[in-house]
Amino acid sequence: MPSLVLPPGALAHTDREYEYDVERDPANVEPIEHQIRLDFIRGGPVRRDQLLGSYNPWKYDPTDPATLPWQGVKQKPLGLTYTETSCAARIHEEKRFYGHVDDDTVLADAPAFLAARLRIAREQPNPEQALEEERQRREKWYRELIPGPNLSQVLKDSSYGSLIEACIGPAPDADRLLEHNAFVGMVLVDDDTDPDAFDRDRTLDSTYVLRESALSHTQTDDPVRLADYGIDLPAPLLVGEYQSGSQYPLIPWGDALTCACPYKQSAPWRVMCKHELLATVVCGGRDSIFLPVSRGIDVPHRARRFVSPEIAVSHQSRAEGYHR
């Protein structure tokens, strides 16, 4: 099996080879993304009757109770309650970085994407204005875009519901989900490679050697490819196969995995897609930060690590309100 060779941006920030360029690399998998995954892992399976129907996530306004979903009609998923607390905490925790943008020892502790943006802002003709705009941008992510247009959209019948509609039970757990969805260990190759010849040379099962162009993420007008993440083919990776009929690779990046689906890739504030929500329930059922290989080739652990170990040992999901 070919080795999994990762670029600097796919490594943990503590790795000596780690390097992140905000203008070159994809948006980083940030601490809030790891924390949200842990929040949903600890929140348990999402019930069918908690999913939203015709709700329009773009009308979400955290200051207007009339626009909030789950208001007296449905019970809010516990993972989302934890997530809202994590988002409020991140606003408080990031305040110190805006006051120390000239101190790289302080910025070394900031999320990589934010630190890179702050370094760019401090070089602008009006750095105070640029920093304030960045602060407002981040706060809008945490207060509005993540809980509303992102997570409320994912938690709809038409989104996550499409992955669980054939599953038995009111709150499909890891076992039920994996009866109708799968995480498949595969070797992905480029279009110039003959999969049959490739597997014969390496005695691999040809079922699990596939051209990247056969997967769903390449079937869009502006696809994000593995090469955009610095992943050289051939590469052994985990591919999600879902009840909805789609197949998306899970790309190692920023110490974890990110789904290649267009929804997740189209905006940096989209910290979760329906496929990653399913992955959190599966991880929670296995009490692990690694996704299982349902079938196929036994890919490296780095191709299955869904949450950063560093954040997994430190983050505590909290349902109570956060007041600072």
183 and 269 belong to one structural domain = yes
**Mean pLDDT, the chain, whole residue set:** 92
Please give the structure tokens belonging to residue 183. 């995480």
128 and 231 belong to one structural domain = no
- Residue 199's pLDDT is 85
60 and 98 belong to one structural domain = yes
Instruction: Give phi and psi for 39, each to the nearest 5.
Output: -60, -45
Please give the structure tokens belonging to residue 182. 């799968």
Give the residue, 25 or 215, on which the prediction is more confident: 215
- Residue 60's pLDDT is 92
Whether 15 is covered by a domain: the verdict is no
Query: Is 324 a residue whose pLDDT tops 50?
Result: no
Whether 18 is covered by a domain: the verdict is no
- Report the pLDDT averaged over residues 126-149: 94
pLDDT in tens, 6-49: 999 898 888 888 888 888 888 888 899 999 999 999 999 999 99
Q: What is the largest CA-CA distance in the chain?
A: 62
- Report the pLDDT averaged over residues 226-236: 95
Whether 13 is covered by a domain: the verdict is no
pLDDT in tens, 193-209: 998 888 888 888 889 99
- Residue 120's pLDDT is 92
Query: Is 70 a residue whose pLDDT tops 90?
Result: no
Whether 145 is covered by a domain: the verdict is yes
**CA neighbor of 69 nearest in space, from 170, 7, 159:** 159
Instruction: Give phi and psi for 234, each to the nearest 5.
Output: -75, 150
132 and 62 belong to one structural domain = yes
184 and 303 belong to one structural domain = yes
Neighbours of 97 (CB within 10 A): 21
Query: Is 320 a residue whose pLDDT tops 70?
Result: no
- Report the pLDDT averaged over residues 140-155: 96
Q: Where are the alpha helices (DSSP H) in the chain?
A: 31-43, 78-98, 104-107, 112-121, 127-140, 151-154, 161-164, 174-180, 195-202, 262-265, 274-286, 309-312
Q: Which of 17-21, 79-83, 121-125, 287-291 has the weakest average pLDDT?
A: 17-21
| Structural contact between residues 181 and 241, judged by C-beta atoms closer than 8 angstroms | yes
- Residue 24's pLDDT is 86
| Structural contact between residues 38 and 307, judged by C-beta atoms closer than 8 angstroms | yes
Whether 44 is covered by a domain: the verdict is yes
Q: For a pLDDT cut of 90, what percent of the chain falls above it? A: 74
Q: For a pLDDT cut of 70, what percent of the chain falls above it? A: 98
- Residue 321's pLDDT is 52
156 and 268 belong to one structural domain = no
- Residue 73's pLDDT is 64
Query: Is 323 a residue whose pLDDT tops 60?
Result: no
108 and 217 belong to one structural domain = no
- What is the DSSP annotation of 162-213? HHHTTSSSSS--HHHHHHH-EEEEEEEE-TTS-HHHHHHHHT--GGGEEEGG
161, 190, 206 — which closes off a domain?
161
- Residue 19's pLDDT is 87
161, 189, 217 — which closes off a domain?
161
pTM for the full predicted model? 0.94
Whether 20 is covered by a domain: the verdict is no
Residue bearing tokens 């060779």? 5
Domain that holds residue 41: 28-161
Query: Is 215 a residue whose pLDDT tops 70?
Result: yes
Query: Is 322 a residue whose pLDDT tops 50?
Result: no
Q: How many domains does the chain have?
A: 2
137 and 178 belong to one structural domain = no
